[in-house]
Structure 1
């Protein structure tokens, strides 16, 4: 298992920020800033990865966490769009990745997404995915089921995982 994790970390850290490693599932990925940046999040087993960086280059930032250590807010089942978000913490900086799918069939670009970067309760950046570039496994993200397999239960009342 340790060899597998080391191999997975190596593969994630050297891939350009465009695609998930073979055998993993894309959670949310997209281009940002008119294609000059890429955001990729993946799930492989009980590991969630985040990669952000220049298009066609090694990522500027890669994070990997156990599913239990990634906070997720699942869609509550109401509203004009289906959405979910999940957050990686790294040394006091929080990276919240989100996607949304508009339920209105007449919307030209039903998918949207992005990443919000916060530190100390202050928003440092909010980058929106380029129109038409969102790639997502869609509702429900496989992250929800992975968290449940890890023994966590989501409470709508408290908005937290137990």
Structure 2
């Protein structure tokens, strides 16, 4: 009976694969597609070994919205392997908006269930700045695929590994720091995580550096403290980064471009999983799906002038959006 059920399930999945829609860009194949319930519209998610595309618009007509993303960067979430249904999804990002599209089917657990009609389902979840603004359901009988090896295998071939804890992909080029970059501080009564002072550096500009060593980067401008103190500060505006100066020394830095990175390789654009791999583990007080990580520099002196902190913030695409270093004087 077990062997018959296994063979039957294989045929069941193969049958789903043969029902895939074909309305994709040239040389691409469908990941999932469906018509949206009560709207007269349809969605197609297609892919090849380089690019994944999103197309949404009137049935049989030109798309109202067409998006594309490389295989390396596309936010694809494979089936977790548990539950009564098999489904996978892809999320595309367009400015403040995110479009999570998925499809799947209820999996059978007996020969009798495999003889019943296939129950398919699919969806589009639209978010704006992380808040859900619309949930669209697919007409079940129009759902095609939504499960298979295609995008998953393309990402593996591109040198990536799925991390089910952070729900992100990790490039094989991102290697863990040995020993762990995150260390433990025993300065206070409670043990806290910290990073070595050498990590508080962006492109060879370090916290505490004197102003006269930054001349090659430009001249600072006097601006109002963006953190609301009302004080005037000196800020150097650079492409993809800013550097704040206090008493002729660097006391704050922020990066918004992958062109600026720390000695360990932390930079904008990394996935949550890649950041965790570089750090060595999830910082205490957070989990692998947190929206950001905050920790301090390792120090042996309470209330030290150089008691810097780092804030790594992730965008709705689960990638680093900003890396900021701040001093106690902020």
Give the superposition deviation at 1:35: 6.4
Higher relative contact order (CA 8 A, sep 6+): 1
The question of whether the paired residues in 1 share the 8 Å contact of 2:104 and 2:147 is answered with no
Q: In structure 2, the residue corresponding to 1:69 is in which secondary structure? A: coil
Give the superposition deviation at 1:76: 1.3
Residue 130 of structure 1 corresponds to 139
Q: Determine if the alignment matches structure 1 residue 149 to structure 2 residue 153.
A: no
Give the superposition deviation at 1:147: 1.1
Deviates more, 1:150-159 or 1:80-89: 150-159
2:59 corresponds to which of 55, 58, 67: 55
Cα-to-partner distance string for 1:21-75 (whole Å, 9 max, x where unaligned): 3421100111113461010110022100000001122100000110122111111
**Structure 1: distance between partners of 2:133 and 2:125:** 8
Give the superposition deviation at 1:81: 0.7
Cα-to-partner distance string for 1:57-105 (whole Å, 9 max, x where unaligned): 2100000110122111111111101111111111121000111210133
**TM-score normalized by structure 2?**
0.41
**Structure 2: distance between partners of 1:116 and 1:143:** 20
Residue 16 of structure 2 corresponds to none
**Structure 2: distance between partners of 1:100 and 1:150:** 25
**Structure 1: distance between partners of 2:26 and 2:92:** 22
Residue 73 of structure 2 corresponds to 69
2:84 corresponds to which of 77, 80, 87: 80
| 1:62–1:71 CA distance, 2 compared to 1 (3 A) | same
**Structure 1: distance between partners of 2:60 and 2:36:** 13
1:102 corresponds to which of 91, 102, 106: 106
**Structure 2: distance between partners of 1:121 and 1:81:** 26
Give the superposition deviation at 1:159: 1.9
The question of whether the paired residues in 2 share the 8 Å contact of 1:28 and 1:42 is answered with yes
Q: Which runs of 5+ in 1 are unaligned?
A: 1-17
Mark the structure with the bigger radius of gyration: 2
**Structure 1: distance between partners of 2:124 and 2:40:** 15
**Structure 2: distance between partners of 1:147 and 1:134:** 24
- How many residue pairs match? The answer is 144
Q: In structure 2, the residue corresponding to 1:79 is in which secondary structure? A: coil
- Higher strand fraction (1 or 2): 1
**Structure 1: distance between partners of 2:130 and 2:27:** 36
The question of whether the paired residues in 1 share the 8 Å contact of 2:103 and 2:147 is answered with no
The question of whether the paired residues in 1 share the 8 Å contact of 2:90 and 2:101 is answered with yes
Q: In structure 1, the residue corresponding to 2:72 is in which secondary structure? A: helix
Give the superposition deviation at 1:150: 1.2
